[in-house]
A and B are shown apart, each in its own frame.
Chain A
Amino acid sequence: MAIDASDILAVTKKVTQKWTKARKAEERGSRSRYSRQYIYSDRINFTEIADEIIPAGYDHASGGGQYTVSMRQMYYACREAFKEKADREIEAAYFSQTLLRQYLNRNPEATATWKITADPRGTLTIPNTAHEVRVPCGTLAIEAHLRYASTHINPLVAPSLMPIEWPSLEEGTRYQAVLYIEKEGFEPLLNEARIAERFDLAILSCKGQSVVAARQFVDHVCRVDGGVPLFVVHDFDKAGFEISKRLTSVSDWAEEQDRVAYRFENEINVTDLGLRLADIKKYDLASERCKFKGRRDWNSDKFCTAEEEAFLRSGKRVELNAFTSPQFIEWLEGHLTKRLPSRLIPDDEALEAAYRRALVVAEINRAIEAASDDAIEHAIEAAIPKTLRRKLKAAMKESGGAWDTALYAIARKQGLSHDED
């Protein structure tokens, strides 16, 4: 008989089974006699602790319900209180997936207005719409989509006017800076606080180390000559500093190993707004354990101060998620207000072009408004063809389009013949 992975797993499971059982009992909060004797000296019911600490944790993290909070922020908001009561650390995954979930299920009414989000994972794509509709598969986005999708549509409401926004997506005319965040979970909070709109910011995020596409983007739009500034927000950990560095430059290691993923064409106008030790002290942010695996000369590029390096080497890190939502917004706004004191107004050339376009749009929109009343009246008076469904099927077969585009073709044809009459 050959040795197989199952043999290794079997002996591993056999020696750890009592430990696993005790830990699972601890997680469930059941008062396992065995877990008491073997692992713990006191009876601890996690469910009771959760009931005690989670409401206060949410209140703290959301600023009294003002902002959305992520699962991770909830974890940080409750972690210390949990440790105080249980006399041990709790793991983030167990907190968010078990304790918090169970609490929400037990208290549906009390938590009905709570806005707790998980990172979007995946995308919902809706076909055959006027614009591509892609909804991030996150709690808030899906809820918003369901609300919008179920709203009643008034068929005779005045048609949309031409969009009045200047259609350019170019840096300097659409946004005055790029904010890079090393996490994706902050999007709902940033939306709520209207950070992008208020500061005319493009927001770019990746999970962890930036992808080539992100580097390519900042290389082009955040170049020193003619680009817009790039602000990088990251955790206070070794990876965070490296993420910031690698977003705008190639590492020596990558050069030596011939592993350069993207070669920058421009010098980047970058400012590191990452979390620092001073912020951690100011906001009294909680740290977590983290192995520091780094060369002795890791900080030769002066990523951080000697005190900060000592903190990191002591096996600790602090995540952005350690902020409560109000703290995070206050901290971020502080940085942005200092660096972007005024709103975006593009250069003269773009301004003149936009003004001329605004004149055109204004006139067209006036015409649309004027024509709307007649159009609605005609629509109300129009007879619905008895063979509409059959005509629609034929039109769809001919065009290959979705039902509503084919329907529009029929209506337009009907409208034209009406005009001829």
Chain B
Amino acid sequence: MQSTKNATNKTASSPKCKKTRATSQQKKQGLSPRSKDPVLNRTTFKTSREMDFFSEKELKNQTAHNIDEWPLVIIKELVDNALDACEEGDIAPAIEVSADATGITILDNGPGLPEVTLQGALDFTVRTSNREAYVSPCRGAQGNALKTILPMARVVDPENGQLIIETLGKRHTIRCGCDPISQRAVVHHDIVDLPKCKNRESRNGTINQALSCGTSIRIEWGARPNSEWPFGDHYPHDDDFARQFRELVQGFAVFNPHLSLTLNWFNKRTTWEATDPSWNKWKPHKPTSAHWYELAHLERLIGAYVTHDRDHDSDRLVSDLVAEFDGLIGSQKRSKVLEDAGCHRVKLSDLVVGERLDSARISGLLKAMQVHTRPVKSTRLGIIGEDHLRARLLAMGVVPESFQYSRKESKDGLPWVLESAFGWKGDESEDWRTIISGANWSAAIKNPFRSFGATGEGLESALTDMRASAFEPVVFILHLAHPRVEYTDRGKSSLVVGAKKQGLS
């Protein structure tokens, strides 16, 4: 699932997953296992954090969603992780989401969840993230999804709740809890070897070659009367909730042309086949662009590296940092940057003066990196495309003649791409308006464009003004690709969009 520098090493050493094996030569050159494109080997940084995960209240704070919405949080976060992992492994993702009376399972065909990543997630004394310090068009920015989901099962069902992860030939059964006396995390982690990875059967009993490797994560609870779930008042067979669940899963199929996705909802299967398995986008392991950073962002990254190096008794050169940026892998350009910034043979720790970062020097470095690289064109972020959206909307029952598609890109400055599609389901349809919206190829639990502009007008009211009110049988899609997506809340339920100064600038 989460692929990190450590993850790549671990995967490569596994005899069972040759697909993702990278040669040491490739790694030295910073290349991905499958292509010669430059690769960003993200580093997982640690900062102190403890006991934020072991009660409904704390998890509500962490996820910014009420317990009723946790099933949706589980889906969103785990599918995000699965997609990222597949993309980092250059694998066309195939994901299966299953829901039954006693659990939710997400199965993917990625390179597998490295043991070290799992151990990091189980260490509740620190916060780990390989996303937060970088500026890039990522599905998640906090990188703590697994850590949030691990204790969820136990919180909703203290007796029987557990997380079962099957990956890289092992089954991990994890029961997380909290010692009521010491107020410390108590983790029971049982590991058993699985039969050979190849030809492994998926949970529903059908053999799926595409899913013969990868990771299965199941959050499980004890059986309850009437197949009830332990998430507040949501009843899985309630039509409204089932629709919400399906729409979230469907959202991922809408935003990811390379994804083959199956929803198994109480043995009722729906599959969205990939429309373009080789679809290209800005992948999580691609180097980030210096043009996406402002001084504060670069300071944050440098600060994180310095802390990380101190923890590991190392001290990297500024040159190593510069080499991680898009367009600066070549030594010639790197030299020019270091020369302009006066950072030849300078170590990152030299950019710390006393207890503070040397802002003037870092500013000079950022400016030099931006001068010697080209800004990234919007289209390089990834275009979902009209054909894919048409296919998805027609599959939803949209009348072909009514399908409309629009795309808007930034012309300068930070790159971004807005894509929108619309369709009408016909007079016979009894459905109401469906809005599928999201950012950076991730479906949102709530419409993140609920409020924008000086008047606080939101997408819903704008659509109503356009006669596409909540009662109309129409489908509306809105997607934003942007390297610096900002949300007003931790649950990523509302994007920061508005006046230019406040917006995603």
A interface residues, Cβ below 8 angstroms from B: 1-20, 23-24, 37-40, 88-89, 91, 289, 291-293, 295-297
Distance in angstroms between the alpha carbons of A210 and B476 in the assembled complex: 36
Assess whether B407 is interfacial by the CB under 8 Å rule.
Answer: yes
Contacts of A89 in B (CB 8 A): 471
Please indicate the chain B residues that have their CB under 8 angstroms from the CB of A7 in the complex. Answer: 408, 418
What's the least CB distance linking A88 to chain B, in Å? 7
| Interface bits B408-420 vs A (CB < 8 Å: 1, else 0) | 1011111010111
B467 touches A24 (CB 8 A): yes
Q: Note all chain A residues with C-beta closer than 8 A to B449.
A: 8
List A contacts of B420 (CB < 8 A): 11-12, 14-15
Contacts A/B (CB < 8 Å), 29 sampled: A1-B412, A1-B414, A2-B414, A3-B482, A3-B503, A4-B498, A4-B500, A5-B453, A5-B499, A7-B408, A7-B418, A9-B453, A9-B462, A11-B406, A13-B466, A15-B406, A15-B421, A16-B468, A17-B466, A19-B422, A19-B466, A20-B467, A24-B467, A37-B401, A89-B471, A289-B471, A293-B240, A295-B232, A296-B234
Q: Which of B452-488 contact A (CB under 8 A)?
A: 452-454, 457, 459, 462-463, 466-471, 474, 476, 478, 480, 482
Q: Within 8 Å of chain A (Cβ to Cβ): is B235?
A: yes
Known: A2-B413, A38-B402. A19 touches B424 (CB 8 A): yes
Task: Judge whether B404 is part of the interface by a CB distance below 8 angstroms.
Answer: yes
- Chain A residue with Cβ nearest B422: A15
Contacting pair A2 B500 (CB below 8 A): yes
Task: Contacts A10-B408, A19-B402, A19-B466 given; indicate if A4 touches B478 (C-beta within 8 A).
Answer: no
Q: How far is the CA of A22 from the CA of B164 in the complex (A)?
A: 52
Expressed in whole angstroms, the minimum distance between the Cβ of A49 and any Cβ of chain B is: 17
**Is B313 an interface position by the 8 A CB rule?**
no
Q: Bound state CA distance, A91 and B233, in angstroms?
A: 33
Judging by beta carbons under 8 Å apart, are B422 and A16 in contact?
yes
Given contacts A1-B411, A39-B424, A88-B427, contact A12 B459 (CB under 8 A): yes
**Which chain A positions have C-beta within 8 A of B406?**
11, 14-15
**Interface magnitude class on chain B:** 35 or more
Known: A9-B453, A296-B238. 19 other contacts (CB 8 A): A2-B504, A4-B498, A4-B499, A5-B497, A8-B418, A8-B452, A8-B497, A11-B478, A15-B406, A18-B404, A19-B424, A19-B474, A24-B467, A38-B401, A40-B427, A91-B469, A91-B471, A296-B233, A296-B234
Q: How far is the CA of A148 from the CA of B71 in the complex (A)?
A: 64
| Residues on B with beta carbons closer than 8 Å to the beta carbon of A38 | 401-402
B505 at the interface (CB under 8 A from A): yes
B498-A297 in contact (CB<8A): no
Is the CB–CB distance between B498 and A15 below 8 Å? no
Q: Which residues of B contact A13 (CB under 8 A)?
A: 466
Instruction: Kindly list chain A residues whose C-beta atoms are within 8 Å of the C-beta of B235.
Output: 296
B405 at the interface (CB under 8 A from A): yes
Q: Could you tell me the distance between the alpha carbons of A291 and B413 in the complex, rounded to whole angstroms?
A: 43
Given contacts A5-B457, A8-B418, A15-B421, contact A297 B233 (CB under 8 A): yes
Determine the chain B residues whose CB is within 8 A of the CB of A2 once the complex forms. Answer: 413-414, 500-501, 503-505
Once bound together, how far apart are the Cα atoms of A3 and B468, in whole Å? 24
| Chain A residue nearest to B420 in the complex (CB) | A11
Residues in A with CB closer than 8 Å to B471 are: 89, 91, 289
Which 8 pairs between the two chains have the least Cβ-Cβ distance? Answer: A5-B453, A2-B505, A23-B467, A295-B233, A15-B422, A14-B406, A11-B420, A15-B404
The chain B residue sitting closest to A88, CB to CB, is B427
B503 touches A12 (CB 8 A): no
Q: Are B404 and A14 in contact (CB under 8 A)?
A: yes
- Using known A-B contacts A3-B480, A5-B453, A8-B478, determine if residue A19 contacts B467 with beta carbons closer than 8 Å: yes
Q: Are the CB atoms of A1 and B468 closer together than 8 Å?
A: no
The closest CB in chain B to the CB of A295 belongs to B233
Q: Roughly how many angstroms separate A297 CA and B233 CA in the complex, as a whole number? A: 8
- Which residues of B23-75 have CB atoms within 8 Å of chain A's CB atoms? none
Question: Bound complex: CA of A390 vs CA of B232, how far in Å?
Answer: 78
> How distant is the Cα of A2 from the Cα of B414 in the complex, in angstroms?
7
Q: Which of B212-250 contact A (CB under 8 A)?
A: 232-235, 238, 240
| A3 CB contacts on chain B under 8 angstroms | 410, 416, 418, 480, 482, 497, 503-504
Please report whether the interface of chain A is mostly helix, strand, loop or mixed according to DSSP.
helix
Contact A5:B452 (CB < 8 A) given known A14-B406, A296-B238: yes
CB distance from B345 to the nearest CB of A (A): 38
Q: Give bound CA distance, A4 to B427, whole Å.
A: 35
Closest-CB distance, B407 to chain A (whole angstroms): 7
Q: How far is the CA of A297 from the CA of B414 in the complex (A)?
A: 49
Taking CB atoms, residues of chain B closer than 8 Å to A18 are: 402, 404
Which chain A residues lie closer than 8 Å to B478 at the CB level?
Answer: 8, 11-12
Q: Which residues of A contact B504 (CB under 8 A)?
A: 2-3
Contact of B468 among A9, A10, A19, A91 (CB under 8 A): A19
Give min CB distance, A178 to chain B, whole Å: 34
Which residues of the other chain, A, contact B462 by a CB distance below 8 angstroms? Answer: 8-9, 12
CB distance from B9 to the nearest CB of A (A): 38
Is the Cβ of B505 less than 8 Å from the Cβ of A16?
A: no
* C-alpha gap A38/B402 in the complex (Å): 7
Residue in B closest to A27 when the chains form the complex, CB atoms = B467
**Which residue of B413, B418, B421, B449 has the most chain A CB atoms within 10 A of its CB atom?**
B418
With a CB–CB cut-off of 8 A, which chain B residues contact A295?
A: 232-233
CB pair A20 B459 closer than 8 Å: no
> In the complex, which residues of chain B have a beta carbon less than 8 angstroms from the beta carbon of A289?
471
Q: Are A12 and B466 in contact (CB under 8 A)?
A: yes
Q: Give A187 to B156 CA distance when docked, in angstroms.
A: 50
**Which A residues lie within 8 Å of B500 (CB)?**
2, 4
Q: Do A11 and B419 have beta carbons less than 8 Å apart?
A: yes
Q: Give A238 to B480 CA distance when docked, in angstroms.
A: 36
| Bound CA span A9–B454, Å | 13
Within 8 A of A (CB), among B413-450: 413-414, 416, 418-422, 424, 427, 432, 449
Bound Cα distance from A17 to B235, whole angstroms: 38
For residue B410, which residues in chain A have a CB less than 8 angstroms away from its CB? 1, 3
Residues in chain B near residue A11, CB distance under 8 A: 406-408, 418-420, 478
Q: Nearest Cβ in chain B — how far from A278, in angstroms?
A: 26
A167 to B222, CA, bound (A): 68
Query: Which residues of B (107-128) have their CB < 8 Å from a CB of A?
Result: none
Distance of A317 from chain B, by nearest CB (Å): 13
Q: How far is the CA of A204 from the CA of B125 in the complex (A)?
A: 58
Contacts of B421 in A (CB 8 A): 15
Annotate B490-503 by CB proximity to A: 1 below 8 A, 0 otherwise. 00000001111101
Within 8 A of A (CB), among B335-379: none
The chain B residue with its CB closest to the CB of A11 is B420
> CA of A1 to CA of B474 in the docked complex: distance in angstroms?
32
A6 contact set on B, CB distance < 8 A: 453
Q: In whole Å, how far is A87's beta carbon from the nearest beta carbon of chain B? A: 8
Closest to B465 in A: A20
| Chain A proximity of B217: nearest CB distance (Å) | 27
Return chain A residues, CB-CB under 8 Å to B499.
4-5
Residues on the A chain within 8 Å of B413, using CB: 1-2
Chain A residue with Cβ nearest B471? A289
CA distance A293 to B424 in the complex (A): 25
B474 with A15: CB separation less than 8 A:
no
- B233 and A15: CB pair below 8 A? no
Complex CA–CA separation, A110 to B459 (angstroms): 43
* A15–B402 CA distance with the chains assembled, in angstroms: 10
Q: Which of B407, B453, B467 gathers the greatest number of chain A CB atoms within 10 Å?
A: B467
User: In the assembly, what is the distance between CA of A286 and CA of B410, in Å?
Assistant: 50
